[in-house]
């Protein structure tokens, strides 16, 4: 077995080095090679490492970057799959990269962003110390199915993680219900107050009680189906969070300032990214930090200066133009992005890049469940709208029905032309790509303007 581990790790390292030399990411393929040589190599490589797993539909990458800053500030040695390769192949490659050729770990902690469908397989090989579950929303129906299917995958993964402290979103009725079925220690986190003054109306992905199927009553809603839910029939309700955001003090285009409460004590906390959903990511990070035994003052400090993940509210200044790239991939997440971008007060340019490759989800009908009418209602603040990606024409049709004037829209398929057009603007540019479009755009930005590659 040691010989198999040796050759698996060695070939994985060589493959990854070769791909990087060629200027490619090398995030998944090296792990595929390693697993072909020894299918369970991840189980060998994860021994002796304190593993933190981040899973859920939305917020995995940003939560992982926040947790990473906590680990940095705590001074511990760690590695993480920063590239976002969150299937078992990418995770295996990251473990192999950070191990000796004999399979011994080089770092004490592994911070792993894990796809919610892959979690049930990864958890069989990785003995997690902490697992944070962000939320469950409809996402890639062709791959995940409905939300209950995604929830069941997460439950299976947790059943393989008996030693893990679970950090569960109390405001998600689906996620909170997991606590009733496990013996793991649980830290609940949540937001005790509405986040938005003007919240987009959305179709709830979980309007009915997971216990008795009657409709929930909400004392408040933060977004989607998250908030202060309670069932008037069986009594199932939002559990009291152990760590919560008790007040949203201010939000702007760069950050949010909130009161973070734990154990009766409150810290005024700056979250170094805008957007209400990032308030949840920060709260979940605090829960993970406490699960790992870190001091709350350290956690609060880390939230104030962490660097966001690539394509997740990532900001570039290119030739004097401010460009912010924000991943969109499902109705709930996209509506939250729209809550942010349509509240900017200055005239802005918007770009939407829609792909339908396997990693995006081949079913793009979700765009009709997004309130793109908000863009049309911006009036003079909408200075221009560019559509790109494989399904750019579908996106143009959606915006036509949303009421955006045709003279304000333009389809630009070539990414180099698109970036030249964007950076020629004298107004802020907000780019909203789906996953594979984001990867392609991010590579183009790196090559054209000298920014670091997405895997760095």
The residues carrying an active-site annotation are 363
Closest CA to 113 of 42, 173, 57: 57
d(CA 105, CA 49): 7
Q: How far apart are alpha carbons 39 and 60 in whole angstroms? A: 26
Q: What token pair was written down for 157?
A: 């993964």
Query: What is the distance in angstroms between the CA of the first residue and the CA of the last residue of the chain?
Result: 32
> Distance between CA atoms of 330 and 116, rounded to whole angstroms?
15
Strand stretches in 289-408, DSSP E: 312-318, 321-326, 348-353, 382-388
Give the angle 227-332-164 at the CA atoms, nearest 5°.
65
The position carrying tokens 């790509």 is: 433
Question: What residue has token string 């929930």?
Answer: 216
CA proximity to 336, closest of 273, 399, 422: 273
Any idea which residue has 């013996």 for tokens?
183
User: Quick one: tokens of 10?
Assistant: 């060695």
Q: What is the CA radius of gyration of the chain?
A: 22
Question: Which is nearest to 44 in space by CA: 112, 102, 117?
Answer: 102
Residue 86: DSSP 8-state:
-
Cα–Cα distance between 65 and 122 in angstroms, integer?
A: 20
Residue 382 CA to residue 379 CA, distance in Å, equals 6
Residue of 259, 135, 155 whose CA lies nearest to 206: 135
CA dihedral (151, 152, 157, 159) in degrees, to 10, reads 120
């Amino acid at each position: 077995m040691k010989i198999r581990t040796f050759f698996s790790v060695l070939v994985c390292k060589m493959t990854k080095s070769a791909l990087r030399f060629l200027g490619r990411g090398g995030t998944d393929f090296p792990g595929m090679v390693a697993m072909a040589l020894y299918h369970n190599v991840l189980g060998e490589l994860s021994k002796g490492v304190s593993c933190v797993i981040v899973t859920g539909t939305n917020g995995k990458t940003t939560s992982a970057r926040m947790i990473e800053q906590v680990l940095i500030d705590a001074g511990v040695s760690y590695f993480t799959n920063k590239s976002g390769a969150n299937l078992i192949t990418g995770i295996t490659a990251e473990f192999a990269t950070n191990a000796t050729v004999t399979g011994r770990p080089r770092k004490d902690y592994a911070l792993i962003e894990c796809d919610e469908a892959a979690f049930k397989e990864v958890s069989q090989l990785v003995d997690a110390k902490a697992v944070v579950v962000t939320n469950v929303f409809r996402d890639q129906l062709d791959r995940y199915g409905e939300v209950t299917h995604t929830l069941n995958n997460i439950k299976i993964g947790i059943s393989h993680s008996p030693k893990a402290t679970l950090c569960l979103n109390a405001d998600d009725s689906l996620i909170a219900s997991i606590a009733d079925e496990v013996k793991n220690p649980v830290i609940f986190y949540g937001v005790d107050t509405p986040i938005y003054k003007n919240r987009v109306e959305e179709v709830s992905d979980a309007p009915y009680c997971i216990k008795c199927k009657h409709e929930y009553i909400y004392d408040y809603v933060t977004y989607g189906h998250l908030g202060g839910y309670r069932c008037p029939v069986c009594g199932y309700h939002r559990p009291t969070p152990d760590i919560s955001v008790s007040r949203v003090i201010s939000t702007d285009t760069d950050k949010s300032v909130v009161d973070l409460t734990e154990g009766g004590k409150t810290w005024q906390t700056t979250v170094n990214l805008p957007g209400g959903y990032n308030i949840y990511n920060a709260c979940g990070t605090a829960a993970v930090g406490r699960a790992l035994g870190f001091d709350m003052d350290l956690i609060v400090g880390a939230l104030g200066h962490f660097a966001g993940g690539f394509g997740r509210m990532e900001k570039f200044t290119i030739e004097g133009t401010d460009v912010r790239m924000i991943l969109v991939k499902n109705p709930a997440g996209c509506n939250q992005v729209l809550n942010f971008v349509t509240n900017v007060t200055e005239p802005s340019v918007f770009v939407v890049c829609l792909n339908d490759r396997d990693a995006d989800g081949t079913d793009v009908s979700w765009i009709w469940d997004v309130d793109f009418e908000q863009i049309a209602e911006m009036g003079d603040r909408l200075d221009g709208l560019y559509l790109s990606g494989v399904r750019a024409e579908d996106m143009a049709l959606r915006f036509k029905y949303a009421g955006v004037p045709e003279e304000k829209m333009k389809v630009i398929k070539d990414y180099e032309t698109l970036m030249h057009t964007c950076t020629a603007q004298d107004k802020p540019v907000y780019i909203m790509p789906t996953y594979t479009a984001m990867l392609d755009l991010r590579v183009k930005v790196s090559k054209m303007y000298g920014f670091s590659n997405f895997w760095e």
